[in-house]
Amino acid sequence: MKYCTNLLFGLFFLPALLFGQAKKTTKSNDHHPSDRIEKLKAEAVAAVEANKVQAQQINDMLFSFAELGFQEEESFKYLTTLLEKEGFTVQKGVAGIPTAWIATWGSGKPLIAVGSDIDCIPKASQKPGVAYKDPIVEGAPGHGEGHNSGQALNIVAVLAVKKLMERDKIPGTLMLWPGVAEELVGTKAFYIRDGYFKNVDACIFTHVGNNLSVSWGDNGYNGLISARFNFEGQAAHAAGAPWRGRSALDAVELMNIGWNFRREHLELTQRSHYVISDGGDQPNVVPSKAAVWYYFRERTYPKIKKLFETGIKMAEGAALMTDTKFTYDILGSAWPVHTNRPIAAAMYENIKKVGLPTWSDDDQLLARASQIELQAPKVEGLATKLDSMGMPTSSAPVVMMGGQAMTPMGGGSDDIADISWSLPTIVLRYPSNIPGLPGHHWANAISMATPIAHKGIVYGAKAEAMTLLDLLLKPEIIKEAWAYYKDEQTKDIKYESLISSKEQPAIYLNKKIMAEFKPKLEPFYYNPSKYKTYLEQLGITYPTLRDDQRAAVKKEVEKSTAAKVSSSR
Ligand SMILES: [Zn+2]
């Protein structure tokens, strides 16, 4: 199926590729704008294909840096240097965040922003192409969310389009930017608050996924407030004079106990979780300081606020019980994601033309072995059929037993939401990861510097380049996008930031962890001048499986083939 799609796609564009440069005067419809756009799209697709080594190198490089949120120093240097070389003007230290930047090229309208996250996950270090846990550096951060891939996709797509804009003098400005510290939902609300997207006409965001896909409307995400509660008591000799102490750690524990009891009586849509980020120093000193860090997630802005206020009450109660004091810091925030219909529709048309990559037997073997290893719900390998366009998740209240109207369930969060509520935005997902893995986990790094990631990026870049041309050359799409934004998306719901003017980005987060692991990761930074790929540099046979994994995949494939044969009888 997929092979056919690609073949048709190739046949469709072959004439355009061959004759794209030739001046035509004979047929009148050659001057039709859509004909011109299709030719330009074919050229952009060819340029992306020709530049796939660069995509692979950017991807593998960021994978090897493995930097946690707010500490993306190497990624910052590497990407900004690359973009300056390509002729972009780069503004650095955006919104007071040292590792944030905005790179622009071109002039005039439309101004189109293209972004993707860059940070990784704690303790997710993993050798790519290996279907079982095998860290590059034990305990180190790693790209267990695949945020090493999106900038590669965006840069290759934007460079392909930039070349055409230069040649044909197409007006417009392209703006590349990173989602710094997305795992901490730590920056995008600040970009918006500080006006960095004020003049942007449309935004395409890319995020790794298991298929080449796009959605519109309410994406079914939760929004959130990330806040740390800092308790302060009094130190004392824990054995000699414990009565003189007031334990901040007791307060943290009581707050958590209170929250876990209250949890039963919260709406089913909420998701909340915490880590004790400071539990004191040593047992013989009553902890005078302790802190607990919560994510409070809900489906709507008022509910996020309410949930957070409940959290503050728990902290008050805990402070009362322990005779301690507390303050809190908001470390991050996000709205629930809502993406734009007209731009998603344009993107989906291009996705259909691009289709899915042709996976090799090795790609599928790695995927299946990883799925078995991680007990994925299905052992299905990589996607071979395009998803349909994602439709809005209903946010209309559902009436529960007892008569209470409740918003349907939500899940994770992404602060791209704050941009998506400020201007027409879509999220393009591309098939660089293996379906059915746990997420925020070392296993989600397995594919991220292998041919699976590399192909997924190139296919995503093709769809993105084509859509950028649509946005540049069909002003009606941006007009419709703003009409949707104004008349539908924000008709009843107005964006109000979850951060105030006094919050500052929590740029100190992850400093200690990176100080520990950066020197250990440095020897493993990718060197593309010596090695074609990161797999080659690490000396990894692709794919690497244990014998029992090979046998398990073989059994699984035989089982599904037998099932297919019997069902076709
Ligand atoms: Zn992510």
Position 133 scores a pLDDT of: 98
Element of type H or E holding 168: helix 150-168
Residue 337 Cα to ligand 1 middle (Å): 13
- Supply φ then ψ for residue 60, to 5 degrees: -70, -35
pTM of the shown model: 0.92
Cis, peptide link before residue 435, omega less than 30° from 0: no
Residue 128 Cα to ligand 1 middle (Å): 18
Residue 413 Cα to ligand 1 middle (Å): 9
Residue 208 Cα to ligand 1 middle (Å): 7
Mean residue pLDDT of the chain comes to 93
Closest CA to 425 of 300, 299, 335, 338: 338
Residue 530 Cα to ligand 1 middle (Å): 30
Residue 134 Cα to ligand 1 middle (Å): 22
Residue 521 Cα to ligand 1 middle (Å): 22
Position 561 scores a pLDDT of: 85
Residue pointed to by tokens 């009586």 = 265
Residue 153 Cα to ligand 1 middle (Å): 15
Residue 233 Cα to ligand 1 middle (Å): 37
Residue 251 Cα to ligand 1 middle (Å): 33
Residue 443 Cα to ligand 1 middle (Å): 15
Residue 97 Cα to ligand 1 middle (Å): 19
Distance CA 205, CA 191 (A): 14
**Digit-coded pLDDT (tens) for 230-264:** 999 999 999 999 999 999 999 999 999 999 999 99
**Digit-coded pLDDT (tens) for 142-200:** 999 999 999 999 999 999 999 999 999 999 999 999 999 999 999 999 999 999 999 99
Residue pointed to by tokens 């397995």 = 446
Give the pLDDT band (50/70/90) at residue 411.
Answer: confident
Residue 242 Cα to ligand 1 middle (Å): 45
Tell me: pLDDT of 21 over 60: no
Residue 380 Cα to ligand 1 middle (Å): 23
| Helix-helix angle 451-473:52-65, to 10 degrees | 120
- Which residue stretches of 355-396 are H helix? 361-373
**Digit-coded pLDDT (tens) for 290-346:** 999 999 999 999 999 999 999 999 999 999 999 999 999 999 999 999 999 999 999
Lowest mean pLDDT of 16-20, 98-102, 326-330, 544-548, name the range: 16-20
Tell me: pLDDT of 23 over 60: no
Residue 117 Cα to ligand 1 middle (Å): 7
Element of type H or E holding 425: strand 425-431
Rounded to an integer, what is the distance from CA 8 to the centroid of its chain? Answer: 31
Q: How many Cα atoms occupy the beta-carbon half-sphere of 467 within 13 Å?
A: 35
More confident residue, 356 or 394: 356
**Digit-coded pLDDT (tens) for 256-288:** 999 999 999 998 889 999 999 999 999 999 999
Residue 181 Cα to ligand 1 middle (Å): 10
Residue 547 Cα to ligand 1 middle (Å): 33
Q: What percent of the chain has pLDDT over 90?
A: 87
Residue 331 Cα to ligand 1 middle (Å): 17
Give the pLDDT band (50/70/90) at residue 11.
Answer: very low
Rounded to an integer, what is the distance from CA 224 to the centroid of its chain? Answer: 16
Residue 182 Cα to ligand 1 middle (Å): 7
Provide the token pair at 43: 């050229």
Position 322 scores a pLDDT of: 98
The three state secondary structure string of 195-259 is CCCCCCCEEEEEEEECCCEEECEECCCCEEEEEEEEEECECCECCCCHHHCECHHHHHHHHHHHH
Return the DSSP state at 182. Answer: G
Position 455 scores a pLDDT of: 98
**Digit-coded pLDDT (tens) for 360-376:** 999 999 999 999 999 99
Position 420 scores a pLDDT of: 98
**Digit-coded pLDDT (tens) for 500-522:** 999 999 999 999 999 999 999 99
